[in-house]
Structure 1
Amino acid sequence: MKSLKAMATLVLLTSTIVVSNSAVARDKGRNSEGAPVVFVTSQGLYYDSIALGDLPPRGNFQQLVPTMNGLTTEFGPGDEGHLGGRWWIDLTDDGVMNEGDKFFLCPLLGPGRTTL
C-alpha cells in the first residue's frame, strides 16, 4: 500500500498536468494558476515549471522530492546534473527508480527567483 505522501503527490501531479496543459496556449508556457514550483537547493532559487506529461521509465531521470514546503531537487538549469526536466518521484519510498514510481517531463522555466 502506498504511503499517504505518495498518494498526495500523485494527486497533485495529475491535477497539475491537467491545469498546465490547458494554460499553455494562453500563457506561452508560464502558468500562474497552479503549475509546480521547484526549489533548486544548489542554487537557492525557485523555478516555475510546466508539467507536460508522463514518460516511460527508460533513460536518465533526476529525482524530485516532495517536502512540506513544496518540490525540491539538487540541480537546476545551468548545473551539471540537471536533466532538463526529466523527473522521477519515489512513490514507493525505497530510494530506487522502479515500477510504482512517477516518471514525467516538467521543464523548469527561468529565470529562477529567491522567493516563492
Structure 2
Amino acid sequence: MALFDGFIFGFFDNFLLILGTYFGVTVEYRLHRLTHDYKTARKLRDFLRKNSKGVLGGLIGAGLSHVVSNGFGAFLDPTLNHMYVGIAIGTLVPVLFIPIIEALKSRRSSST
C-alpha cells in the first residue's frame, strides 16, 4: 500500500506537536509547585504564577516540538527530504518571538 505524498510529514508533525504541548504544560505545572528556597526558583515560580497559568509552558512546548516534528517529519518523508533543514529553521524563527511577546505583555500589564 502506497502512502500519500507528505503523509509521513503530516503524521510526525501533529503527533510530536501534541506530545510537546502536553510536556510543556506538565513542566510549567511542576514549576508552579516548585518550593525550593533558591531565589531564582522563587522568582521563576512567581513569574509563572502571575503571568502564564500553563499557557507559557504550552507555547514553548508546542513551539519547540513543532520545530522537531517538522524537521524530523520532513527528513523521513522522501517527498520533502531535500527541504528538512529549511523547514526546521523556518519553524524555529516564530518560537524566538515568544519571549518578546511575553515581555511586551508583561510591560503592558504593569503600566495599566
Q: TM-score, normalised by structure 2?
A: 0.30
Larger Rg belongs to: 2
Between Structure 1 and Structure 2, the one with more helix by share is 2
Between Structure 1 and Structure 2, the one with more strand by share is 1
Q: TM-score, normalised by structure 1?
A: 0.30
Question: Greater relative contact order: 1 or 2 (C-alpha under 8 angstroms, separation 6 or more)?
Answer: 2
